[in-house]
Amino acid sequence: MTVERILPTEEAYELLGLTREIADGELAPRVARFEEQGEFPREVLRTIGRSGLMGLPYPETDGGAGQPYEVYLQVLEILAGSWLAIAEAVSVHTLSCFPVYAFGNERQRKSLPDMLGGDLLGAYCLSEPQGGSDAASLTTRAEKDGCDWVVTGTKAWITHGGHADFYNVFCRTGGPGPTGISCVIADADTPGLLPQIPERTMGLRSSPPAQIVFDGARIPAERLVGDEGAGFRIAMQALDAGRLGIAACAVGLAQAAVDYATAYAKERQQFGKAIGEFQGIGFMLADMATQVSAARALTLAAARLKDAGRPFSIEAAKAKLFATDAAMRVTTDAIQVLGGAGYVSDHPVERWFREAKVLQIVEGTNQIQRLVIARSLTRD
Ligand code: COS
């Protein structure tokens, strides 16, 4: 089923058409095998990069595609409907390019064309085993030694861990709290940067996260991104935009589930007619479709604020919260529409259900999104 889209330019319609071709031609035939075998799709991501989809919302002068966030998110949505791990990879990579793009010095910014073209894959190291939601309490330490930062500590849940070419590392260069945190950017081949065995996850098995141990990793002092002590603010600003990417992934996943369940309900016959003709199923599909439309509207409204240069942090938190909770409900109901068939891996809905769960957790749990929204309401 196609979603009627209103896009700002003719170029944006062409871009979405190209994305649909890639999703149908490159992603759909591969997703089941890669997810089953737990194989990281690096070559597929190179194809995505060559098609210009790895740096969409960044200016063309830096090697990006100069697309509004509103358009970039709809690209993510289409990718997510085909293969969530690829959409999440594009979203996390786009997030990982933000610190250098927004705060990097001239030398660091020279890498932007390779980053935004997808030749270099990025990772974002904020969470730690003891500090996930409470990001300001992170303990990975960077000590100045001559011309280097010597980084020691463990980062957790790192998407692209062991596959990335560059790692944004948020580490403590000063005292406790948010003002003691800085951001450095490390190459994958830095001695002492040690990716661990990937986690065994419920979903997203082709791209499981991994811990990264920093064992006295020496990172040249010139790889500090932004000012010393500015790391927490950089991390939060990157996440504001990143959370919209996760919301778009949720919308795409949920739309796929609605489409699949609807097609099934039109085919499947019981009591002499298609099950979609029973109100019990038809109303379920109606609620699912409505939740997806609402999630998309909220997500794109936040993106339009961002595109207009207006504050969008709270609207991004609302979009991430609503869209990922909607994806969980919709994928759960999609299984119910298929009945027993929904519970077995012959159909993709059980995978979408497993994948939806992680979206309620990554880039700030939905409890953290509620906290951000509640604070904005109750603080003076
Ligand atoms: N943009 C810019 N600055 C921000 C910001 C944002 N979105 N959010 C917070 N800041 C600034 C604050 O303004 C504050 O600076 P000042 O003291 O100068 O005003 C500073 O950062 C500290 O903010 P705050 O006091 O709100 O920090 P908290 O420790 O209370 O933490 C939350 C805030 C909980 C929102 C933050 O820790 C968070 O987002 N946690 C979840 C982390 C996460 O998403 N992890 C997933 C990792 S990637 S998979």
* 346-378 pLDDT, tens digit each: 999 999 999 999 999 999 999 999 999 999 999
User: Residue 128's beta-bridge partner residues?
Assistant: 131
Residue closest by Cα to atom 35 of ligand 1: 372
In percent, the amount of the chain with pLDDT more than 70 equals 99
Both tokens of 355, joined, read 């994948």
Ligand 1 pocket: which of 232, 234, 237, 313 to mutate (most atoms within 8 A of CB): 232
- Mean pLDDT of the 249-263 span: 98
Say how many Å lie between the CA of residue 136 and the centre of ligand 1: 7
Say how many Å lie between the CA of residue 349 and the centre of ligand 1: 35
Calpha distance 358→202 (Å, rounded): 8
Catalytic residue of the set 35, 77, 315, 363: 363
Residue closest by Cα to atom 6 of ligand 1: 236
- How large is the C-alpha radius of gyration of the chain? 21
pLDDT at 1 exceeding the cut of 70:
no
Which CATH superfamily, name and number, covers 233-378?
Butyryl-CoA Dehydrogenase, subunit A, domain 3 (1.20.140.10)
Residue 350 a catalytic site member? no
CB contact at 8 A, 85 and 36: no
pLDDT (tens digit per residue) in 30-77: 999 999 999 999 999 999 999 999 999 999 999 999 999 999 999 999
Residue closest by Cα to atom 46 of ligand 1: 363
Both tokens of 68, joined, read 């509004």
In percent, the amount of the chain with pLDDT more than 90 equals 98
Average pLDDT score over the chain: 97
- Mean pLDDT of the 6-27 span: 96
pLDDT (tens digit per residue) in 127-161: 999 989 999 999 999 999 999 999 999 999 999 99
pLDDT at 11 exceeding the cut of 70:
yes
| Alpha carbon distance, N-terminus to C-terminus of the chain | 46
pLDDT (tens digit per residue) in 218-245: 999 999 999 999 999 999 999 999 999 9
Residue closest by Cα to atom 43 of ligand 1: 364
User: Which ligand 1 atom sits nearest the alpha carbon of residue 232?
Assistant: 21
Residue closest by Cα to atom 12 of ligand 1: 233
User: Residue 370's beta-bridge partner residues?
Assistant: none
CA atoms within 13 A on the CB side of 351: 22
pLDDT at 239: 98
Which CATH superfamily, name and number, covers 122-232?
Butyryl-CoA Dehydrogenase, subunit A, domain 2 (2.40.110.10)
Say how many Å lie between the CA of residue 228 and the centre of ligand 1: 17
pLDDT at 334 exceeding the cut of 90:
yes
pLDDT at 270: 98
Both tokens of 24, joined, read 């149908």
User: Which ligand 1 atom sits nearest the alpha carbon of residue 137?
Assistant: 29
Say how many Å lie between the CA of residue 132 and the centre of ligand 1: 12
Provide the H-helix boundaries in the chain: 10-22, 31-37, 42-50, 69-82, 84-103, 106-109, 112-116, 231-267, 279-307, 313-338, 349-359, 366-378
Calpha distance 132→172 (Å, rounded): 15
CATH number for 10-116: choose from 3.40.50.2020, 1.10.540.10, 3.40.50.1580, 2.60.120.260.
1.10.540.10
pLDDT at 4: 84
Residue-range domain boundaries for the chain: 10-116, 122-232, 233-378
Q: Using a 6 Å CB cutoff, which residues line ligand 1?
A: 124, 126-127, 133, 135-136, 157, 178, 232-233, 236-237, 239-240, 313, 362-364, 368, 371-372
pLDDT (tens digit per residue) in 168-207: 999 999 999 999 999 999 999 999 999 999 999 999 999 9
Phi, psi of 311 (to 5 degrees): -60, 135
